[in-house]
Amino acid sequence: MDPWYVTLIKALVLCLVLLGGFAYMTVIERKLLGRFQHRYGPNRVGPFGLLQPIADAIKSIFKEDITVSAADKFVFLLAPFISIVFALTAFGAIPAGPAGSLFGFNPWIMDLDIGLLFVFAATSIGVYGIFLGGWASNSKYALLGSLRASAQMISYELGLGLSALTVIMIAGSLNFRQIVEMGVWSLNPLLWIPLIIAFCTYVISSIAEINRTPFDMPEAEQEIVAGYLTEYSSIKWALFQMAEYVNSFTAAAVISTLFLGGYKGPVFLERWIPGISTWPFIWLILKMAIFIFLFIWLRATLPRLRYDQLMRFGWIYLFEIALGGAILTGFLIAFVI
């Protein structure tokens, strides 16, 4: 157990790291999208365009902050705040290494027995940020965008919750560290079937949950301009973007932790460098990078779904497959193994 000031310092450092990660994810995303489309991407600001996010940050701070005259002023200000606070908080529940591996301190901020539930709760409250933002703008595009976004996000939460059930049933815990230490794949090869189903449905619902292509209906600019962001400018707009990217970090980290062994590294490397599989941060970040790259790759590859297709897919196919996977897990544990 760390003293309280250590926890507070770690929390502040984590927030700053996530903001830095957000800044550099934007530049990596733009560079990769450029490469996918046979162009260079940003390369003017600094070496290889690496100072681009700093230029963007300074620009968004010095832009005029416009609050629409018809808007609900207080809620308009509150919405980006809710989004960013709960996005950052959700990430704090994810452990980044074994106990005491960070120079004697624990490489996590919150070690909760209800870790997974806490992440779900915090990301769900993020929906309020989006909905209140669109509603408070008192603009038709913003309202439509926020309605779509919130309906989509709550619909895909079902798939998310049900696919996580498989892992919870196998691990018998909601605590991320216990799930990682247990190693859900190591129990019985028969359980790989529901795990693979759950992995697929979980990744798909995560992508829908963080509003990324092909599920980025909230920002379908041909139909509803910029969705709930339409009336937002300067730093408030940047906070919404930040929350969205931090949510994609959280999604990547939760997928890695639930399905890919989280902070644990491959043991065979111990032959050359003893202790490498217990180093903090590096393995979680590497695993997250795979999914971040996947998110960007999908954005470069797939067109957007139609809204009715999206809702039907979430409520009928994804819901039924995820529930079926959970039932299969229960059946295998109860009667076969």
Partner 1 sequence: MYQAIFYMFLAAGFIGVAALAVGAILGPKKATETKLAAYESGVPASGTARERFPVHFYLVAMLFIIFDIETAFFYPLAVNFKAAPAFLFVNAIIFILVLAVGYLYILKKGVLNWK
Of 121-140, binders to partner 1 (CB under 8 A) are: 137-140
Residue number, 18 or 207, with CB nearest to partner 1 = 18
Contact positions with partner 1 (CB under 8 A) in 150-189: 150-151, 154-155, 157-158, 161-162, 165, 168-169, 172-174
Contact positions with partner 1 (CB under 8 A) in 80-109: 80-81, 84-86, 88-89, 92, 109
Least distance (Å) from partner 1 to the CB of residue 193? 17
How many Å apart are CA 319 and CA 148, to the nearest integer? 19
Coil/strand/helix, residue 158: helix
Residue number, 91 or 291, with CB nearest to partner 1 = 91
Binding mask 186-225 for partner 1 (x = CB under 8 A): ---------------------------------------x
Helix axes 234-259, 115-137, angle to 10 degrees: 160
DSSP 4-70: HHHHHHHHHHHHHHHHHHHHHHHHHHHHHHHHHTTS--S-SSSGGGTTHHHHHHHHHHSS-----TT
239 lies in the binding site for partner 1 (CB under 8 A): yes
**Which token pair is 250?**
């959280």
Least distance (Å) from partner 1 to the CB of residue 65? 5
74 lies in the binding site for partner 1 (CB under 8 A): no
Interface residue with partner 1 among 75, 234, 281, 297 (CB under 8 A) is 234
Least distance (Å) from partner 1 to the CB of residue 3? 11
17 lies in the binding site for partner 1 (CB under 8 A): no
Interface residue with partner 1 among 38, 47, 62, 274 (CB under 8 A) is 62
Query: 321 and 193 in contact (C-beta within 8 Å)?
Result: no
How many Å apart are CA 285 and CA 288, to the nearest integer? 5
69 lies in the binding site for partner 1 (CB under 8 A): yes
Residue number, 150 or 213, with CB nearest to partner 1 = 150
Residue number, 251 or 318, with CB nearest to partner 1 = 318
- Judged by CB under 8 A, the stretch of 7-15, 29-37, 95-103, 256-264 that binds partner 1 is 7-15
125-156 b/e (C-beta count within 10 Å ≥ 16 → b): bbbebbbbbbbbbbbebbbbbbbbbbbbbebb
- Closest by CA position to 99, among listed 87, 109, 107: 107
Residue number, 31 or 236, with CB nearest to partner 1 = 236
Query: 148 and 228 in contact (C-beta within 8 Å)?
Result: no
Residue number, 41 or 313, with CB nearest to partner 1 = 313
Contact positions with partner 1 (CB under 8 A) in 242-301: none
Residue number, 147 or 296, with CB nearest to partner 1 = 147
Coil/strand/helix, residue 85: helix
333 lies in the binding site for partner 1 (CB under 8 A): yes
Contacts 24+ apart (CB under 8 A), 57-61: 57/23, 57/238, 60/234, 60/235, 60/237, 60/238, 61/234, 61/235, 61/238
Interface residue with partner 1 among 33, 45, 55, 117 (CB under 8 A) is 117
Instruction: Give burial (CB, 10 Å; 0-12/13-18/19+) of 76.
Output: buried
Instruction: Tell me, by CB under 8 A, how many residues bind partner 1.
Output: 83
Least distance (Å) from partner 1 to the CB of residue 181? 16
How many Å apart are CA 104 and CA 1, to the nearest integer? 11
